[in-house]
Chains A and B, each alone.
Chain A
Amino acid sequence: MLALAAVCIGVSCNKSSDSSSDEESGNWIKRSSFGGAQRTEAASFVIGDTAYVGTGYDGENRLKDFWLYNADGNTWQQRAVFRGTARNSAVGFSANGKGYIATGYDGVNKLKDVWRYDPSSNSWDQMNDFAGSARYDAAAFSIADKGYITTGYADLETGGSGNVKDCWQYNPGSDSWTEKNNFGGDKRNSAVVFVYQDKAYLCTGTASSTLNDFYAYDPSTDTWTEKRKIANISDESYDDDYSDIIRSNAVAFTLGDYAYISTGTNGSNTTKTWRYHFADDTWSRKTPFEGSSRGGAVAFVVKNRAFVTMGSSGSSYFDDIWEFNPDQTQNDDDN
């Protein structure tokens, strides 16, 4: 509790500090390499205190191996092979103690199948198809044991392909999909979404260019509420430093009362890391990701510890895993 208070004070004092000192706030610590292939565009979900990662693309093949990460032991364990088609850019979410991998791209077709992983039997079952159009690079989240899929690059009803912003809720009990109100901002793919206090926050991503709008979704009212733009748009000073938040194919995660965005692409790959303050709808810089810059990574939080792993940069594919500790000062010795 004391530590938390100290952090809060530190943040308020930092508000006017220059960006270079802010970029030593937080520390990235290299952990194990991924047990499977070096890969990008994998899907992951967390059930209880265990993270699961699988599928993806290694530069030659789409993958269907599936792994468990044990944060305490820093070890990987291969689990039952994903039984759907090998794919990349699928989404993962968990609900009711089970994990789901849905949508994605098999190299030829956009996909709309949905697969459920049961950790108690280490097995996969196919569920009813996603009710929206087939797509990849969608965003998914879960709130109150329901799953949601929105945005992405989809097959269009009018023919062809394009970005979408429809939003669908999955009910694991009835294995059914219900359409909800469209995402409030622009159509897009490769966005990030993070959840805090039963609301989902969606931003970044790309349409014809990277986007700076930002919306929060409240499932209890089925409403999208606009938050402040994530670029230096206003006449006020709070966003003067918001020069490099926008991006696509980034990762995001929630830790405590903050969310973090890291890695991704805006013109080139970035390591810039930003912290979102839910309390006052503002962003501040944190230590940039200390691994190679990359897009298509995955992030997960287990036992209140945040990890970023995999991804790609050009023809390089990664399998290293990094833990981010926002309360430490940047340190090269643990890289």
Chain B
Amino acid sequence: MMMITKALKCAVVCTVILFFSCDGEQQQTDKAKNDDKLPVTAIAIPVNDGWGYEIYVDNQPFIKQETIPAAEGFQTFKSREDALRIAKLVMAKMKEGKKFPAVTMEELQQAKIAMNSATSGILKQ
């Protein structure tokens, strides 16, 4: 039964692909200009009893997020949907270029990401 669950999780890993400019305004070299339209991909990944995400830039792994970012402790996302919601937020930040793809505790709350408050870091902030 465990095996089946795991296989199912892998099978339903959702792939989101966005093509966008990676902020060429500060790039100076010709090579960097060629990087302007790099494909950025996000997938949800099963981690322990929950979910994380991976973000690929030009098909190369860039962020491998196995816990909820910014939060203390090692909580995983409780659902694939939660993981992808934050992965999309990170990609949107990358699309904006100058705005950094770090996630804040406030953004996790706004996105209504389910967390165990005792280890979320919110109480400590």
Binding site for B on A (CB under 8 A): 32-33, 35-39, 58, 63, 65, 67, 70, 73-81, 83, 121-124, 292, 315-317, 335
Contact = CB atoms under 8 A, between A and B. Distances in A.
A76 B65 CA distance: 8
A71 to B, nearest CB: 12
Contact of A74 (B60, B69, B101): B60
B103 A74 contact: no
Contacts of B19: none
B101 A36 contact: yes
Contact of B62 (A32, A122, A317): A32
Given A33-B57, A36-B100, A316-B28, A78 B69 contact: yes
B125 A78 contact: no
Secondary structure at chain B's binding surface: helix, strand, loop or mixed?
loop
Contact of A35 (B62, B99, B105): B62
A335 B63 contact: no
B114 interface: no
B52 to A, nearest CB: 9
Contacts of A38: 26, 98, 100
Given A73-B64, A81-B121, A122 B98 contact: no
Contacts of B104: 65, 81
8 smallest beta-carbon distances between A and B, as pairs: A37-B100, A65-B102, A78-B69, A75-B64, A123-B72, A80-B72, A81-B70, A36-B102
Nearest to B23: A38
Given A32-B61, A58-B100, A77-B67, 14 more contacts: A33-B57, A35-B62, A35-B101, A37-B99, A38-B26, A38-B98, A75-B54, A75-B63, A75-B64, A80-B71, A80-B72, A80-B121, A81-B105, A317-B26
B112 interface: no
Given A124-B72, A316-B28, A65 B62 contact: no
A265 to B, nearest CB: 18
A65 B70 contact: yes
21 contacts: A32-B57, A35-B62, A36-B100, A37-B102, A58-B98, A63-B102, A67-B102, A73-B64, A77-B63, A77-B66, A77-B67, A77-B69, A78-B69, A78-B70, A79-B69, A83-B125, A121-B72, A124-B72, A292-B28, A316-B26, A316-B28
Nearest to B56: A75
A121 B121 CA distance: 11
Contacts of A83: 124-125
Given A122-B72, A123-B73, A33 B65 contact: no
Nearest to A31: B60
B67 A122 contact: yes
B43 to A, nearest CB: 13
Contacts of B102: 35-37, 63, 65, 67, 78
